Structure 1
Amino acid sequence: LFCRLNNYFEGYLSIASTVPSVICLILNFLLVNKVSPTVRVLSSLSVMLAIFIITTVFVKVDTSAVTKEFFVATLVCVACVSGASTVFTGSVFGVTGRFPMRISQALISGQAMGGTLSAVASIIDLAAGNDITDSALAYFLTADIFIVLCIIAYLLLNRLAYSRYYMAGTGSLNLLQYEVIHAGSGAEEHLGTNSIPPLQPILKKTAILGSCVFYVFFISIIVFPAILSGIESVHKNSGSPWTTTYFTPLTTFLLYNMADFCGRQITVWIQFPGPKSKLLPGAVLLRTIFVPLFMYCNYQPRNHIKTVVFTTDVYPIIFTSFLGLSNGYLGTLPMIYGPKVVHRDLAEAAGVVMSFFLMLGLAVGAAFSVIIVHYI
């Protein structure tokens, strides 16, 4: 049972982390005007903190006799954390939609930096040869501390004059307000702002950009981590630490996250193609080629496709570099464009909508990754 669960753990983990996210993003959009960003952000952080504290306690509990039950409990915890994280990210990204573009870009780059630091910590832990239980305890305690710091940082945000300037006096509009503004009557100030944001005008402006975000992350989650983590060195039997211990952590998690971070950082200096360019969706569609490329690397175990075409370790390294780089660049551009192509008072709702496209891509891609892993 353990071996069977271990073989497909990454796929089930992806589903548990992405499907609840889509549901929570829909809820987040419906609550944009009814619940303040502060309440949404702090409540989601509180849920994450509670789950991580529980998980930290469980590190020292022997679960070997209840493997299946603990596996299910782990997926439930992942689903809860993922849902709360989605509300947090969607709310924060919606708020940053009111700020200059560089703020949204910094937020997106920070997400990639988190993955990179986690990968580095994992490799250091492998090199140190620490006890796995102590390592897990250290990881979860670190997460607990950083979530507390996030809560403190957000509470301090409204005290900054810079943030108050961009956040004060704005709110998402209902459809009637949107039409009044663009009719130029100036009567919008007499209308309430407690309704659901107008989805139709937002989608009209962001549909293509949202589709690009969806497809970028759809392709990425199919490959990473479900397929990438199963690619082994073709020289694994040599007994070298590089091929047995460090190959997957370095070529999968560290390399992908570093390339992803670099791709996101490039958008600070280069924003091409533009939000209305046909080159952007064209470049996004080209990423489809990554799926067959990784399928024919040395993924193990293989059930149906017996042929390994790329029989040298350099191939998955090159492919992973381009996968991460293109994910970072082509995923960031439409995300920062989205809140800027709508009216300023619709920016927060547009940011949530763009986050929805992102999470929908991850959810659908996670489901496809399980199918493809079984197929390989």
Structure 2
Amino acid sequence: MDDTEPVQPSLNSNYVPTTPSNHHVSEDEESDDQSPSSSLLPKHSSVPLAVRYSPEDSYCFVYIIFFLMGIGSLLPWNFFITAKHYWLYKLSNNTHGSGNKEHRSDLSDYFESYLAIASTIPSVLCLILNYVLVNRLSSNVRILSSLFVILVVFVVTTVLVKVDVSDSKTEFFIGTLASVAVVSGASNLFSGSVFGISGHFPMRISQALISGQAMGGTLSAVASILDLALAKDVADSALAYFLTADVFILLCIMTYLLLPKLAYSRHYMLAATGDRGAAAAGTGSGVSVPPLQPILRKTWVLGLSVFYVFFISIMVFPAVSSGIQSVNKASGSPWTTTYFVPLTSFLLYNVADFCGRQATAWLQVPGPTSQVLPVLVVCRSVMVPLLMFCNFQPRDHLHTVLFGHDVYPVVFNCLLGLTNGYLGTLPMIYGPKVVPRELAEATGVVMSFFLTLGLAVGSAFSVLIVHCI
């Protein structure tokens, strides 16, 4: 695969056509001195011509590694959510029994509400911490430490699957929320750091990382459906979930350790180290916090676009979309009772989201400075009323169902996922490219912060939306 990226004219880099030799000139290695924002930062010395030539990504190894790390960044969290029946079983009053039947308890009734709170706050705090640590701790330390923390938590969680906690449900409840908080925070530190270093690579690498995150959601949705069809015991299915997550975390650690051994990634990672050193030298300190003002000056529209895309998506997915039932549910068929929500809400949304993100590898329109991009983002607001007026049940206030056919939630969920993937990915990959190279990693962290903030605020509004219905 050719490593040359289609560059939008508005990106502040000088594109040099591919040379006919085995190496080519990378747009990310071009000087940013002509950028309007370069006056805010210390000037680079001239880059030697030999440094401008980057190796090729042989067999797309680096692309695949970032794709796998994208899967690993969200797969643990997705599997925590997918194991919903396991948590309810553990917190119910029937853990001495042998079946899957769940007896309600106060802990199980409020588990999901506490789960959202336990995951949101650490996510935002860890992304702020990540920005502060960009120049204080190397990306290797931040990424590997967060992966090891996630691995330890999941190994403990896996062991607890076979432990009887019926006499200490409150302690298990508190411990689970603490585990969710740690995993959520560490996952965001990991994903923010990885997306930060991907900003030093061509845009295809950032796109691979984001597409991998969508694939993580797709895999968890497939696992949920297979569980419904095949699993006979809720504890055994949860054990399979957590063991799979353990394997993926180990895979992320091994593949990340492989990156410096590949010439293509080593080229960009060494350049990134030099850029950070130049930025720190200009401020007179080796541990300076990256300047936020020049980053926001160039990326505030892109950041708000990312925020609003995920704000709208999380408002209705999965809080509203998973509550839409088949209008033929009374027929009692497996499609309308067991598989309708997992297929139409979770699987279709995640597959469409993946397709939207993957499309940005070939099509990058509108550009980073186009006014069309934020307009399209705002137009997604229509998805909220469209899903609200499907057959969501129970309905306490909005009794009218305008879209009373099963095809409507299928179409609406596909549109929601497709637009989330495409319009959410474009500003994410544009952000690190519209700032000088030495701010690319910090900009990637800032864009991740906008994304997480959109999820946090949207989660709060999703509760209001459900109550309004």
Instruction: Report the TM-score when normalising by structure 1.
Output: 0.91
More helix by share: 1
Q: Which residue of 68, 90, 107 maps to 2:192?
A: 90
- 336-345 or 50-59, which deviates more: 50-59
For residues 219-258 of structure 1, the aligned pairs below 5 Å read: 219-258=312-351
Cα distance change on mapping 1:3 and 1:326 into 2, 3 Å: farther
Counterparts of 1:286 and 1:65, CA distance in 2:
51
Q: Does 1:352 align with 2:445?
A: yes
Q: Which residue of 195, 202, 207 maps to 2:288?
A: 195
- Given residue 111 of structure 1, which amino acid in structure 2 is its aligned partner? Q
Cα distance change on mapping 1:9 and 1:350 into 2, 3 Å: same
2:306 match: 213
Counterparts of 1:76 and 1:358, CA distance in 2:
23
1:301 match: 394
2:131 match: 29
Unpaired runs of at least 5, structure 1 = 179-187
Counterparts of 2:151 and 2:203, CA distance in 1:
30
- Given residue 374 of structure 1, which amino acid in structure 2 is its aligned partner? H
Cα distance change on mapping 1:84 and 1:170 into 2, 3 Å: same
2:215 match: 113
For residues 119-134 of structure 1, the aligned pairs below 5 Å read: 119-134=221-236
Native 8 Å contact 1:173 1:198 kept in 2: no
Cα distance change on mapping 1:3 and 1:211 into 2, 3 Å: farther
For residues 360-371 of structure 1, the aligned pairs below 5 Å read: 360-371=453-464
Q: Does 1:75 align with 2:177?
A: yes
Q: Which residue of 5, 19, 22 maps to 2:121?
A: 19
Cα distance change on mapping 1:41 and 1:177 into 2, 3 Å: closer
Counterparts of 2:106 and 2:464, CA distance in 1:
15
Deviation at 1:163, TM superposition (A): 1.0
- 342-351 or 120-129, which deviates more: 120-129
2:431 match: 338
Q: Does 1:159 align with 2:239?
A: no
Cα distance change on mapping 1:168 and 1:220 into 2, 3 Å: same
Deviation at 1:75, TM superposition (A): 2.8
SS in 1 for 2:261: coil
Cα distance change on mapping 1:369 and 1:190 into 2, 3 Å: closer
1:181 match: none
Cα distance change on mapping 1:235 and 1:108 into 2, 3 Å: same
2:87 match: none
Counterparts of 1:69 and 1:370, CA distance in 2:
27
SS in 2 for 1:158: helix
Q: Deviations over 1:95-150 (max 9, x none)?
A: 01000110000110011111111111221222224321111101101111111111
- 80-89 or 116-125, which deviates more: 116-125
- Given residue 302 of structure 2, which amino acid in structure 1 is its aligned partner? L
Q: Which residue of 170, 173, 192 maps to 2:272?
A: 170
Deviation at 1:15, TM superposition (A): 3.5
Native 8 Å contact 2:310 2:451 kept in 1: yes
Aligned residues: 366
Q: Does 1:39 align with 2:141?
A: yes
Higher radius of gyration, 1 or 2 = 2
Native 8 Å contact 1:10 1:226 kept in 2: no
- Given residue 210 of structure 1, which amino acid in structure 2 is its aligned partner? G
Instruction: Report the TM-score when normalising by structure 2.
Output: 0.74
Cα distance change on mapping 1:301 and 1:12 into 2, 3 Å: farther
Q: Deviations over 1:317-343 (max 9, x none)?
A: 110000000000000000000000000
Counterparts of 2:460 and 2:166, CA distance in 1:
28
SS in 2 for 1:339: helix
Unpaired runs of at least 5, structure 2 = 1-91, 93-103
Deviation at 1:73, TM superposition (A): 3.5
- 358-367 or 59-68, which deviates more: 59-68
| Identity across matched positions, percent | 67
Deviation at 1:367, TM superposition (A): 1.0
Counterparts of 2:140 and 2:170, CA distance in 1:
38
